[in-house]
Each structure stands twice: as C-alpha cells, then as structure tokens.
Amino acid sequence: MDTTPMANGAPMLKVENLEGWYAESHVLHGVSFDVRPGEVVTLLGRNGAGKTTTLRAIMGILSKRQGSVQFGGRELIKLAPRDIARAGIAFCPEERGIFASLSVDENLMLPPQVKSGGLSREEILEMFPNLRERLSSQGTKLSGGEQQMLAIGRILRTGAKFLLLDEPTEGLAPVIVQQIGRTLVDLKARGFTIVLVEQNFRFAASVADRHFVVEQGRVIDMIPNEDINNNIEKLHAYLGV
C-alpha cells in the first residue's frame, strides 16, 4: 500500500503504547507509530492533543513515561535524555531553546558530536547564510526566523541523523516558512529522518511522506501524503479547521 521510495526496511523508530505524565496528569494514553529510515513524518493534531509531549517522551525529557520507544532496534524507554541523544536522536524544542548567555556561534557549537558524519559548521552556515553575519551576536538578539534556523542548524552538527522538530514554523513569516520547508527537503535528501510536529497542515503536506493524526494522547489515524487530497475532509474534521 505504501509507495514511498525510501520506505522499505525495518522502522528506524518504533513507538508502541507510549504513555506519559506531567506531574499527576496523564497526557499520553498509548501513542504508537513508526518512522522508516529517510522518511519525514508529521504528527498533526489540535492544541493539547499530545504532539509535543510525544516528542518530549521520546527524548526522555518527560520524567514519567512508559511503553516502548525502540530506535534502531534498541529500547530507549529507560534511558536518560543524554543517553537518548547519544544514541543519535536530536531534538529541536518548540520554544527553540536559544541560550541568551551564549553568542550565536557558541549556540551553534554547543551540542556535542554524538556520531560521525554530521554537517560541518561551514555547511550549516551555507544552509543558513543569515547566521554567518550574526555569529558574534547574543543568541536571543536574532529574529524569530533566525533563531529557528540556529535551533535547527546546531543539531545538524552532532551527527545524529534522526531529528525531532517541534513546530519549526510557528509564528514565522511565510517567506521564512518556505525557507525552512526547503531546508527540510534538503535534509531529507541528505539522508536525515525527521519527525515533525506541525499545526500548519499545508506546510506539513509540502514536506512529509506520512502524517500521523494525534488526538487525546493517541495516534488515531495515518494518512500517506499521496492520499492527502482524498482525505482533506477527514483531516479538517480531525484538526477542527
């Protein structure tokens, strides 16, 4: 049924019955989905559906979680965030997490290399030329779009080929959103595998292979991107647009 060219083979990430809590409130109620090597998948859903929480649970940032997160056949659910990062998963948070007390260059060079084969500093600056002129500025003095580029750029150096991107287009001007879209297509061509949380469904459709619909802490549907036009009504109902 699936005709995505790079989609054969075992999944790179396999999430099964993932549950998660913020303090006492139960947010994830058994999230299951899988990501194949080289794919771009999105988690779509309304605000509060549990998309961001799913990324945080995969990354181990959520202190209370259970279920199974297998990455390259290895179980991650018991690992600390730093060991999950070292396994080769890189995370770009929704709030971007640019450090105010670090310069742009220091922000870029902060994440340590966990694998060989990451992009060089030069390649990243070619991908995001805006950053080059601002290297010595304070990280948080950048515009929102530049901060987003910095947040994505700095995790490309680490050698992790599996990226979790939480709403990279949120609050950005259309021209910047397009630039980020081109970047994601470029990254896919370079062999990166990407899980994207998105509210902007049009943007999601322009970059992704498959879409998982998240509702009330569960994945309730999967829509291959090529079928998306046949499922517009259904998606609108899911997303409430």
- Taking CB under 8 A as the criterion, the residue among 20, 37, 45, 60 binding another protein is 60
Q: Least distance to another protein from the beta carbon of 102, Å?
A: 6
- Taking CB under 8 A as the criterion, the residue among 8, 26, 48, 109 binding another protein is 109
- Taking CB under 8 A as the criterion, the residue among 81, 178, 222, 231 binding another protein is 81
- The H or E element spanning position 150 is helix 144-156
- Taking alpha carbons only, the member of 90, 138, 80, 135 closest to residue 112 is 90
**β-bridge mates for residue 133, sequence order:** none
Q: Least distance to another protein from the beta carbon of 101, Å?
A: 4
Q: Least distance to another protein from the beta carbon of 171, Å?
A: 19
How far is CA 23 from each of CA 159, 166, 175, rounded to the nearest angstrom?
33, 21, 39
Task: Identify the DSSP state of 190.
Answer: T
Does residue 77 bind another protein (CB under 8 A)? Answer: no
Q: Report the half-sphere exposure of 64 (CA within 13 A, side-chain side).
A: 10
- Taking CB under 8 A as the criterion, the residue among 16, 34, 94, 106 binding another protein is 106
Name which of 83 and 226 has its Cβ closer to another protein.
83
Range 8-47, binding another protein (CB under 8 A): none
Strands of the chain (E only): list them: 13-22, 25-35, 40-44, 64-71, 74-75, 89-92, 162-166, 193-198, 210-215, 218-224
Binding site for another protein (CB under 8 A): 59-61, 80-86, 90-91, 93, 97, 99-102, 106, 109-112, 114, 155, 158
